């Protein structure tokens, strides 16, 4: 995009993109917007135009865009699209974002979408929806790596290689190690994994007794815990010690901003929304040292039901 194009009001341009109905042009338009601008542009479109524009985007791009919008607007778009299309888009979102969005969607539409989503992801949504939204369970993601203590370095590396393409949307910094019964016993840093001998048991290189939070931990308590520990994320466990997810620092900070935003005067709402959008972009950016992972999280979640 040229400097001259950037100076033009993007709202009439996006309306032209919608009229043309060209998916490639829609992607180029969205990619060319300055950070934080997409929420303003989409906000000025009519509800039907928002849905038309989203329908032009690939599922990944549509999911990313909807994550930046206020929940009511995103829900309106989802309700306006064919159910199959909505399900495909929501399938591309992190599990916590899926729950947040579907809570805003009509109950009958939500049920229809869940029936068309990937079964594993739909089950994760149902599981997470039972938690208080402002708790560790309500904020956690169920996409994480889990391995058993008796497995070796080679076992883990093989799993990562075999599933890398299919699960390329996962962002992980650690693998979580469990004892028999799924009890969290340690954390495996990917750096340690790569530097260890293939036949070495992962239990011998894991960090024992990692910091963790109970799934019912409140948002206020989570903020205090992250203040004490300079970590990007923490494993979430049940009262009996079974790991059920990972809560990220960025998600906790975002939840705090959203709670504060509900109390803002109308004059500050737009500024808050722009700040929240930047935060959402950052929270799903791959973290330093992250690898793209395998299918262990999905199998573990399925085993719980």
pLDDT in tens, the chain (305 residues): 443 444 467 888 899 999 999 999 999 999 998 877 888 888 889 989 999 999 999 999 999 999 989 889 999 999 999 999 999 999 999 888 999 999 999 999 999 999 999 999 999 999 999 999 999 999 999 888 899 999 999 999 999 899 887 656 666 778 999 998 889 999 999 899 999 999 999 999 999 999 999 999 999 999 999 999 999 999 999 999 999 999 999 999 988 887 776 554 554 445 544 544 444 444 443 322 233 333 444 434 434 33
Q: Enumerate the CATH 1.25.60.10 domain ranges in the chain, comma separated.
A: 3-130
Which pLDDT value is given to residue 35? 78
Going by C-alpha positions, the residue among 157, 213, 189 that lies closest to residue 288 is 189
pTM, whole model, 2 decimals?
A: 0.73
Domain 3-130 carries which CATH code?
Answer: 1.25.60.10
CB 39 within 8 A of CB 64: no
Which pLDDT value is given to residue 167? 55
Which pLDDT value is given to residue 135? 96
Going by C-alpha positions, the residue among 304, 248, 303, 250 that lies closest to residue 136 is 248
Residue 278: count of CB within 10 angstroms of its CB:
13
* 221: Cβ contacts below 8 Å, ≥ 6 apart: 213
Which pLDDT value is given to residue 5? 45
Which pLDDT value is given to residue 98? 94
Q: Residue 190 and residue 293: Cα distance in Å, rounded?
A: 11
Strand pairing class (207-208; 184-189) = antiparallel
61 membership: H or E segment, kind and range: helix 59-68
Strand pairing class (174-178; 145-148) = parallel
Neighbour-count burial of 226, counting CB atoms closer than 10 A to its CB (0-12 exposed, 13-18 middle, 19+ buried)? buried
Q: Which region holds residue 265: left if phi is over 0, alpha if psi is between -120 and 50, else beta?
A: beta
| Superfamily per CATH, domain 139-251+284-303 | CBS-domain (3.10.580.10)
């Amino acid at each position: 995009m040229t400097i001259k194009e950037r100076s033009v009001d993007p709202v009439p341009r996006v309306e032209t993109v919608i009229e043309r109905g060209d998916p490639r042009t829609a992607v180029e338009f969205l990619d060319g917007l300055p950070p934080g601008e997409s929420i303003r542009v989409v906000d000025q479109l009519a509800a039907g135009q928002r849905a038309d524009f989203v329908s032009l985007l690939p599922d990944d791009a549509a999911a990313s865009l909807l994550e930046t919008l206020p929940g009511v607007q995103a829900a309106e778009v989802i309700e306006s699209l064919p159910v199959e299309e909505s399900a495909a888009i929501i399938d591309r979102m992190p599990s916590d974002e899926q729950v947040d969005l579907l809570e805003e969607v009509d109950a009958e539409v939500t049920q229809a979408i869940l029936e068309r989503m990937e079964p594993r992801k739909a089950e994760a949504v149902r599981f997470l929806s039972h938690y208080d939204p402002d708790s560790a369970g309500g904020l956690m993601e169920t996409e994480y790596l889990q391995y058993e203590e008796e497995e070796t370095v080679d076992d883990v590396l093989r799993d990562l290689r075999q599933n890398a393409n299919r699960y390329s949307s996962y962002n992980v910094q650690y693998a979580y190690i469990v004892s028999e019964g799924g009890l969290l016993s340690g954390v495996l840093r990917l750096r340690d994994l790569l530097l260890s001998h293939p036949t070495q048991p992962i239990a011998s290189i894991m960090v024992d007794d990692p910091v963790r939070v109970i799934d019912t931990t409140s948002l206020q308590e989570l903020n205090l815990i992250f203040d004490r520990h300079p970590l990007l994320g923490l494993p979430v466990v049940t009262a009996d010690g079974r790991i059920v997810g990972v809560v990220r620092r960025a998600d906790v900070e975002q939840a705090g901003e959203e709670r504060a935003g509900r109390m803002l005067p109308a004059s500050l709402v737009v500024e808050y929304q722009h700040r929240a959008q930047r935060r959402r972009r950052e929270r799903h950016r791959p973290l330093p040292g992250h690898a793209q992972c395998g299918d262990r999280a999905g199998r573990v979640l399925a085993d719980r039901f």
